[in-house]
A and B are shown apart, each in its own frame.
Chain A
């Protein structure tokens, strides 16, 4: 089985977010960048499990500058066989999808995996775009993925529950919690990762149609109003009359 896993770089989950350049760019000062957790914990680890079970290869692909090599090496240390880095800033979902689709075309992957979303832009757009660009079916927010002969059995999240379905390969899947358990790279993996191939390829042209104009931070909450625990009537009154939410 030939699997391609799309990996992305994001600020660490507890990072404090601030902006620079007139609120048009993330201020990287003091922000630690990591492999997007959904890509790492769920998409990549499930791909490795499938490879261990059925044989094959796992390739990771990232769109970004050379400074992204740190997170790419981590994916290799966890167990991916090889990596591709498209040498360009990832300016938006369509740009990234165009790069991945362009690389995947002609490489005959059976399965292309992404995380359900990145934790920075939360768009959930790239997987669905790749599927359309390659004219493949797409299963999103998958919590379980198993092979039954040539069929892929997927349980995915839907509003208030789950849906189980049967698809055929090739297929694009976005992975959610439940797909796999996080793997910590061990020393051997880290040493081996240094010798695994990381191929840098140039970007293809792409037009996004959107432009970020400005970022802003949420207004500071006015300080909390503490309510006497013995007086829940007062809380109900405030919810009705002041907050007007019930």
Chain B
């Protein structure tokens, strides 16, 4: 059995959960088994995970699970893994997935690989996965040879596919040990677009913007595209943009379908965080900017001219 932990935000299934259920379903097929999805807390659209290939959804509740705690959540997931006889547990490679992965590896005595980027090779009973290493500079292939395996899937690694219908949701009340972490407050600054690691389209800007007061042109372009905004390290270090927008080696690594970089020169540490993007557009007035070498499309001109023009052209194309 493949067990997928499908995350929710405020009681609604996250987009990343559609991805990992699709991943779990396809992997289960190649292993000749089924995919069960696990949700924690009351999730209004839990049944919809059936559409992406879950043969069953288990909804777990406990007073100890009302907010995230790696100890309590790992206990819940490993208990369900035991109940369904999971040979593979799949998590999302995000903040909570990263906090859970190692714990589950220890609990289930399982080999662990984080940040898997494509479906595993399962021929001949082997289990091979691929991940990005050296901060985006290389790939590594791992064989997991333990009986139970735990992996996390990097965001935007495969397209969710609808393959079936809603399924039955069974409720499970678990008795979870008293948690030792108490959440005091949660502060979400991102708007209603997809958060960065999940975003398919990203508009990013750097020091070439000259100051935070000029960001409206970036926000307008992002709004037109339905993209998430990001920034380079000097920008978040100077406090021009919030820290959670910082992509690169010391920020977060992303792999969107489209990454538009305006006024970012493309230092190796920045490239490390974005080089897995499918398509990169670089807008920079310096023809020597190293980022052009990593780009698919380049525009060598002043971003204050080009960005509004690009927004206009997108509007025109939509009309």
A residues with CB within 8 A of B: 11, 13-14, 17, 19, 37, 93-94, 97, 117, 119-133, 137-141, 143, 153, 156-168, 171, 177-178, 208-218, 221, 224-227, 229-230, 232-233, 235-240, 243, 245-246
Contact = CB atoms under 8 A, between A and B. Distances in A.
Nearest to B250: A177
B84 to A, nearest CB: 20
B297 A13 contact: no
8 contacts: A93-B112, A120-B135, A125-B112, A132-B103, A133-B106, A138-B103, A166-B181, A210-B113
A109 B308 CA distance: 56
Q: Could you tell me the dominant secondary structure of chain B's interface residues? A: mixed
Interface of B: 9, 68-71, 74, 94-96, 98-103, 105-107, 109-115, 128, 132-135, 137-146, 149, 179-190, 195-198, 201, 225, 243-244, 249-251, 253, 257-258, 268-269, 272, 275-276, 278-279, 281-282, 292-301, 305-306, 309-310, 312-314, 316-317
Contact of A125 (B105, B189, B244, B272): B105
A160 B189 contact: yes
Contacts of A158: 68, 95-96, 186, 188
Contacts of A168: 180
B225 A227 contact: no
B215 to A, nearest CB: 17
B106 A129 contact: yes
Given A122-B133, A128-B102, A221 B187 contact: no
A218 to B, nearest CB: 7
Given A37-B250, A210-B143, A161 B188 contact: yes
Contacts, number: 270
B180 A137 contact: yes
Contacts of B109: 209
A17 B110 CA distance: 30
A93 B114 CA distance: 11
A166 B182 contact: yes
Contacts of B275: 218
Contacts of A224: 282, 292-293, 295-298
A207 B189 CA distance: 41
